[in-house]
Structure 1
Amino acid sequence: MIAVTGATGNIGSTLVRTLADAGEQVVALSRGERPVTLPEGVVHRRTDIGDPDALAAAVAGARALFLLITGPQLTEGPAPSELLEAVAAQGVRRVVFVSSQGAVTRPGSAGYARTLDIEKALAASDLEWTVLRPSGFASNTYAWIEPIRGDHPVTAPFADVPLPTVDPADIAAVAAVALREDGHHAQTYTLTGPELITPRTQVRHLAEALGHPIPFREVSREEAYINMIRFMPAPVADHTLDILGSPVPAEQQITPDIEAVLGRPPRSYREWAERNATAFRTPITPALQA
């Protein structure tokens, strides 16, 4: 059995389907009630990764764990070694952890300290482990759903700074391989999209997918910060804006890791927009984070 934290998010929901389609027994873990839809045979368990005992109970019987931290857990919570010991005591032998590219490109950032601590705890453990370090998610543009439906301008800072945005479905696909197959122990994969793309170009691709123009307004860093701290810790908002506005060379590098693991190139933002255009037309509000 494979346990998936963040099972209702943009990575987790796709990963649950992928694993179930491959014939795996899956337990979907989330803090809320049972997700609206789950593939047939998938078990839902409610848990909080901030509580090692609750997490341990939720993963009982699983041999592998997909670990993703969001919200307050990005900057606070129990010691990573305590979490890992708790799940290992229940039989988990393999962990695939979603870290961030910024954990190594911005190692001094307070927003990445806990992420790095989890990476270090995995390396020091007896578990099989794989670390995924994605760049910014294509799905972060779900933040534009409300203005697009209301025919208002979408907003973003640093409109013409390009970054290699990654499709969360590609992160899920790499995670599925690392969870199910041998050969990925002690590997760290940096996951990016196939091209550098700016927020302004993302708006254009999304408009093309929807078949109508989308007005766009560039905002200041300060205005963007105020919006971002509504759904993420302040240190995380700070380092995210640092990357968006002043990326270092490594943050603009397109990596080969997705193709190396999956045997195909990563999907582009245009492909993501075409596949997810319906979400911008219907009253469904997907998660903003992984």
Structure 2
Amino acid sequence: MIVVTGATGNVGRTLVRLLAEADEPVTAVSRKITGADVPRGVPAVAADLADPASLRPALDGADALFLLISGDFTSAAENPSGVVGDILGEAKAGGVGRIVLLSSQGVVTRPDSSSHGSTGRSIEEAVRHSGLDWTILRPGGFNSNAYAWAESVRARRTVAAPFGDVGLPFIDPADIAEVAAAALREDGHAGRVYELTGPALTTPRQRAEAIGDALGEPVRFVEQTRDEARAEMLRFMPGPVAETTLAIIGEPVPAEQRVSPDVEQVLGRAPRTFADWARRHIAAFR
């Protein structure tokens, strides 16, 4: 049985569906989850990673665990790696032998950032030394970050963002879910770290255009200043996270602009494009 944490998110929801469609026994875990959030027949367990003991009902008898540590968790927890250690202890006690961790590219590209680098690195180290067969996934930016533009596109057919012509190889969360499913179900992934990106660099201006193409209507791009973008980010993320995010999207280091071959190596196909993501999710922007 495979346990999926973060089961109502952009990656977890798809991962649960993929596993269920493959007839894998799967349990979906999230802080607020009901049977309506999962495919028919999939158990839904409400649990909070900040309280590792709450995971016991889901982990009992499990073989594998998909572990997603959210930004909210790492910002709020006093000792994130210590809590993760307790989660891993609960997993081993329940019978888990394999773990797939959704980490972040920032662990290596922003090592001095407490929000992206040091905390993520300590969590990765806890997983590496857990005694479990581990696989670590390090994606860059998600195509689904474009949901932040949905309201302005619906209301005004406008996207506002900084650094309009800086490209990054954003990835489709569905591709992350497929790689995770492979690592959870197949042999040959233990001890591997996969850098996950899309197939090409895309800029905010290009992503806005792709949304417009999917709508069949032009979407106007408005370039924000750095200060304007920071003020907007501070409404929903801590200051250090906002600063690191602005550095990544405004002045990416070469590793953050590198297109990785890992998705294709694992799945046997190229990663999906942003345009494909926009077409599949265009209902959110209508």
Normalising by structure 2, report the TM-score.
0.94
Alignment of 1:172 onto 2:194: no
Counterpart CA distance in 2 for 1:243 and 1:35 is: 37
Contact 1:99–1:134 (CA under 8 A) maintained in structure 2: yes
* Structure 1 residues 56 and 37, CA gap change in structure 2 (3 angstroms): closer
Question: Which position in structure 1 is the counterpart of 2:36?
Answer: 36
- Structure 1 residues 223 and 249, CA, compared in 2 at 3 Å: closer, same or farther? same
Please state whether the residue corresponding to 1:183 is helix, strand or coil. Answer: coil
Query: How do residues 61-72 of structure 1 correspond to structure 2 at under 5 angstroms?
Result: 61-72=61-72
Instruction: Within 5 Å, give how 1:38-117 maps onto structure 2.
Output: 38-77=38-77, 78=80, 79=82, 80-112=84-116, 113-117=118-122
**Aligned-partner Cα distance in 2 for 1:70–1:267:** 24
2:59/2:90 contact within 8 Å kept:
no
Q: Distance in 2 between matches of 1:133 and 1:229?
A: 25
Structure 1 residue aligned with 2:13: 13
The 8 Å contact of residues 66 and 97 in structure 1, kept in 2 or not, is answered as yes
Amino acid at match of 1:53: A
- How far the C-alpha of 1:152 sits from its partner, in A, is 5.1
| 1:151-162 → structure 2 map (5 Å cutoff) | 151=156, 153-162=158-167
> Which SS does the other structure have where 1:48 is aligned?
coil
Structure 1 unaligned blocks of 5 or more: 282-290
Q: Following superposition of structure 1 onto structure 2, how do residues 259-270 of structure 1 map, counting pairs within 5 Å?
A: 259-270=264-275
- The 8 Å contact of residues 25 and 41 in structure 1, kept in 2 or not, is answered as no
Which has the larger displacement, 79-88 or 54-63? 54-63
CA contact (8 A) 2:88 2:127 kept: yes
Provide the secondary structure at the position in 2 that maps to 1:177: helix
SS at match of 1:236: helix
> Match of 2:171, SS?
coil
Question: Whose helix fraction is larger, Structure 1's or Structure 2's?
Answer: 2
Q: How many residues align?
A: 281
Q: 1:147-185 CA deviation, whole Å, 9 max, x = no partner? A: 111125221111110000100000000000000111111
State the partner residue of 1:284: none
Q: Distance in 1 between matches of 2:268 and 2:136?
A: 19
Higher relative contact order (CA 8 A, sep 6+): 1
Q: Within 2, Cα distance between the matches of 1:92 and 1:177? A: 17
TM-fit CA distance, 1:54: 1.0
Name structure 2 gaps, 5 residues minimum: none
Post-superposition offset of 1:76: 4.2
- Extract structure 1 runs of 4+ deviating beyond 6 A: none
Q: TM-score, normalised by structure 1?
A: 0.93
Pair 1:36–1:148, CA change in 2 (3 A)? farther
Identify the residue that residue 122 of structure 1 maps to in structure 2.
Answer: 127
* Closer/same/farther in 2, CA of residues 90 and 75 from structure 1, 3 Å limit: same
**Conserved in 2, the CA contact under 8 Å of 1:61 and 1:91?**
yes
Conservation of the 8 A alpha-carbon contact between 2:8 and 2:33: no
- Answer with 82-91 or 205-214: which moved more: 82-91
Cα shift at 1:35: 5.8
Q: 2:282 matched to which residue of 1?
A: 277
Deviation at 1:60, TM superposition (A): 2.0
Asked if the contact 1:71–1:232 (Cα under 8 Å) also holds between the matched residues in 2, the reply is: no
Deviation at 1:31, TM superposition (A): 0.8
Match of 1:231 in 2: 236
What is the SS of the residue equivalent to 2:161?
A: strand
What is the distance in 1 between the residues matched to 2:90 and 2:202?
Answer: 41
RMSD: 1.4
Partner of 1:133: 138
Structure 2 CA distance, aligned partners of 1:172 and 1:35? 20
SS at match of 2:14: helix
Q: Go from structure 1 to structure 2 and tell me whether the alpha carbon gap of 1:91 and 1:69 turns closer, same or farther (over 3 Å shift).
A: same
